[in-house]
Structure 1
Amino acid sequence: MTQPKLLLLSTGGTIASVASDSGLAPGANGAELVRTLGEMPFDLTIKDILHLDSSNIQPEDWQLIAKTVYEERLHYDGIVITHGTDTMAYTASMLSFMLQQIEIPVIITGSQVPINVVLSDAQDNLRLAFSAALTKHPGVFVAFDGKIMRGARSVKVRTTDFNAFESVNFPPVATVTSDGLVYRPELMRDELTKPCQLQATVETQVALIKLFPGFDPQMLYSMVEHGCRGIVIEGYGLGGMNFIRRNLVAVVGDLIAQGIPVVATSQCLYERSDLTKYEVGREALLKGAISAHDMTSESAITKLMWALGQGMDLAAVKQVFEQDLVGEVTLN
C-alpha cells in the first residue's frame, strides 16, 4: 500500500531555535526537527526555505511561502509549515487569502519552547500538524496545543503558555481527544468551487492603528502623505471613533473621499464590531468607514493588504470586506 506523501517546509522560529550569545536564534533545520519524532507512517519530503525568527518575517517571505506551497500542492497529500509563533497568525491569515481554494491541507505550526529542550511542546505540535495534514481537509490551518484552527481566525493570546493560540469568534475545527483528532464537519469548508490560483501580490503601504484617548487624527494625513494606501483602525467597543474635539470621524471621511479605504474593527478580542449601534459608530459609517465585523485585527490588515495588492479600488475593497472568502468573517 502506498504511503501518503507530505511536505514539510521549515522557516525557522522558536521550534528550531538554539541558544547563542545573543539569545535564542533559529539553528535547527527541518530534518533535525523531524528526527526527534522517530518513525512516521508517511512519506515525508523536507525543504528548508527560510531560517528566520518570525519577528523578521516580512511580506516577501509570505510570497515565497505561498509560491512554494502553490507549486508543490499537487504533488503531496498535505503540507506542514513550521513557523515562529510571534507572527504566525499574520502568516496564516495572509496565506489563506493568497491560496484561496487550495486543494490540500496546509498546516502551520511551531512551539513555545525549542524542540531540543526537555518538556518542549514542539513534538506534540508537530505530530498534531502531520495528523491534520493527512486528513485531506483542504484549507490553511494553525495546529497548536491540541487544536486545529482556521488560519484566518487564529490569534496568539499568550506569550509563554503552551495554550498560546485561540480561534477567535469561531470554534476550533478539530481538537485532540481520547478518540484522536476529532473534526467537526459542520465547521469545515471542504467544497471547492474553482481551481486554486496563486494571488500573492500585496500592498505593504498600510497601517494598523489602535485608537486611544488623545490620539491626534491629523497623524493619519501624514501617513497618507508618506504613501499609506489603506488603514485599519482598532476602535473602541463595537468600533466607535471619537468626533468631539479631536474629530477622527471627519478625518476618516476625508481620507475615504480621497479613495483611501479605512477599515473599522474593535480593540476587543472577542465578538464583533457593529458601527450601526452607537452614534460614534454611525457617524463613522456615514463617512464611509468599512466594518471588519468579527474579523481579527491580523485578518483585517492582511485582507486589506491582499485586496489592495490585487488592484482593488475603494469600492472593490468595500465589497470584498462584505464577503467571507476563507472563513475569516461571520456575516449576518
Structure 2
Amino acid sequence: MSNKKLLLLSTGGTIASVVSEEGLVPKESGETLIKRLEKLPYDIDIKDILQLDSSNIQPEEWRTIAENIYDARNDYDGIVLSHGTDTMAYTASMLTFMLQKINIPVVLTGSQVPINVVLSDAPDNLRLAFAASATCKPGIYLAFDRKVMLGCRSVKVRTINFNAFESVNYPVVAQVTSDGLVFNEEAKIPSHDGKTVLNTEIDPHVAVIKLFPGFDPNLLYAMVNNGCQGIVIEGYGLGGMNFIRRNIVAVIGDLIKKGIPVIATSQCLYERSDLTRYEVGRLALLEGAISACDMTTESAVTKLMWALGQSMDVKEIAQFFETNIAGEVTL
C-alpha cells in the first residue's frame, strides 16, 4: 500500500519562531520543521505561504490560507497547516465556513515552544497532525497535545501549558494512547455530499461584547455608528441580559429593527446558552436576539462574519445560525 500523500502549509507562529532582540519571531521554514522530525511514513510536500505571528493573522490571511487549501485539495490525501496558537481556533472556525464540504482532512497545529528548543512540544504536535491528516474523515481539525479536535469546537484555554486547547461542548475526535491514535465513537463527524465550496467573502465589521454589571448599552449604538455590522454579546449564564436601568434588551431590539444582527451567547465556556429559561433571556429573544446555542465565541464570530459577507439580512442570519454546517453547533 502506497504512503499517503500529504501537504504541509506553513504560516509561522511560535512553532517556527527563533529568539531575536525583539522577542520570538517566526523565521523557520516548513522544510526546517520537517527536518526536525524523524522520518514519517508519508509522502510530504511543503509550501510556505505566510511567516507571521498568529496575532497578525487576519481576514486577508484567512483568504490566502483557504485558497491554498482549496487549490491543493485534489492533489493530496490530507493537509497540515502549521499556525500560531493565539488565533488558531479563529482560523479553524473560519476555514469551516470558507471551505464547506471540504473533501479531505485539514489539520491545524502549532506549539507552545519553538521547535528548535530541546523540550519543545512541536515535534509531537506535528507528528499527531500528520497522522490525523492521513486518517481522519474529511473536515477541519485542530491537533494539539495528543488530542484531535473538531476545528470549530476548539478553544485556546491556557497560555503556557502544553495542554493549550480544549474541545468545548463536543467530544474529542481522537487521542493518542498506547494503542496509537484512537478515535472516539461519540464524536460524530458530520458527513456531506457534493463538491467543496470555496467562499471567502466575509465582513469583519463585527464586535464581541462581554457583558458586565454597569455596561452602558448606548456603547452599542456608538459601535454601529462607526461601522459595526453585527454584534456577538456574551451574556450571563444561559445568556441573560439586564433590562433594569441600563436596558440592553431594548437596545438590542432597536438595533435588530435597524438590520444589525445581535448574537447571544454565554460568557461561560461550557454548556449552552438558552434564552428561553429566564425572563432576562426571554425578553432578549422576543426582541430578536439570535441564540448561538452551544457554539464557541470563535465560531459565533466567524460564522457571523461569513454570513454578513453573503449579504444575509437579520432573518437569514437567524436561519443560518439554526443550521449546523460542520458540527459547530448542537441544535
TM-score band w.r.t. shorter chain = over 0.9
Check conservation: 2:190, 2:326, Cα contact below 8 A. Answer: no
**Matched residue type, 1:172:** V
Check conservation: 2:96, 2:152, Cα contact below 8 A. Answer: yes
CA distance in 1, matches of 2:49, 2:75: 17
CA distance in 2, matches of 1:164, 1:149: 12
Q: Partner of 1:253 in structure 2? A: 253
CA deviation string 1:142-163 (max 9, x = no partner): 0000000000000000000000
Indicate the percent of aligned positions where both proteins have the same amino acid: 68
CA distance in 1, matches of 2:178, 2:101: 31
Provide the secondary structure at the position in 1 that maps to 2:107: strand
The 5 A counterparts of 1:283-294 are 283-294=283-294
Q: Partner of 2:52 in structure 1? A: 52
CA shift, 1:190, in A, is 5.7
CA deviation string 1:122-180 (max 9, x = no partner): 00000000000111510000000000000000000000000000000011010111110
CA distance in 2, matches of 1:240, 1:189: 31
Q: Partner of 2:113 in structure 1? A: 113
CA distance in 1, matches of 2:190, 2:242: 42
* Structure 1 residue 141 corresponds to structure 2 residue 153: no
CA shift, 1:2, in A, is 3.0
CA deviation string 1:267-324 (max 9, x = no partner): 0000000000111001100000000000000110000001111121111100010111
Q: Partner of 1:20 in structure 2? A: 20
Ranges in structure 2 where 5+ consecutive residues have no aligned partner: none
Query: In 2 relative to 1, CA 186–210 (structure 1 residues): closer, same or farther, beyond 3 Å?
Result: same
Q: Partner of 1:129 in structure 2? A: 129
Stretch of structure 1 that moved more, 35-44 or 67-76: 35-44
Q: Partner of 1:197 in structure 2? A: 197
Q: Partner of 2:296 in structure 1? A: 296
Q: Partner of 1:221 in structure 2? A: 221
CA shift, 1:55, in A, is 0.5
Q: Partner of 2:78 in structure 1? A: 78
The 5 A counterparts of 1:162-201 are 162-189=162-189, 191-201=191-201
Q: May I ask how many residue pairs the two structures share in their alignment?
A: 331
Ranges in structure 1 where 5+ consecutive residues have no aligned partner: none
Q: Partner of 1:4 in structure 2? A: 4
CA shift, 1:42, in A, is 1.3
CA deviation string 1:204-237 (max 9, x = no partner): 1111111111111111111111111100000001
Over the residues paired in the alignment, what is the CA RMSD in angstroms?
0.9
**Runs of 4+ more than 6 Å apart:** none
**Matched residue type, 2:219:** M
**Matched residue type, 2:116:** N
Check conservation: 1:275, 1:284, Cα contact below 8 A. Answer: yes
Check conservation: 2:190, 2:327, Cα contact below 8 A. Answer: no
CA distance in 2, matches of 1:135, 1:190: 16
TM-score with structure 2 setting the length: 0.98
**Matched residue type, 1:211:** L
CA shift, 1:3, in A, is 2.4
* Structure 1 residue 315 corresponds to structure 2 residue 303: no
Q: Partner of 1:155 in structure 2? A: 155
CA shift, 1:41, in A, is 1.3
TM-score with structure 1 setting the length: 0.98
**Matched residue type, 2:48:** D
Check conservation: 1:290, 1:321, Cα contact below 8 A. Answer: yes
CA deviation string 1:29-75 (max 9, x = no partner): 10000101121211111000000000000001001000100010000
**Matched residue type, 1:89:** A
**Matched residue type, 2:174:** A
Check conservation: 1:109, 1:144, Cα contact below 8 A. Answer: yes
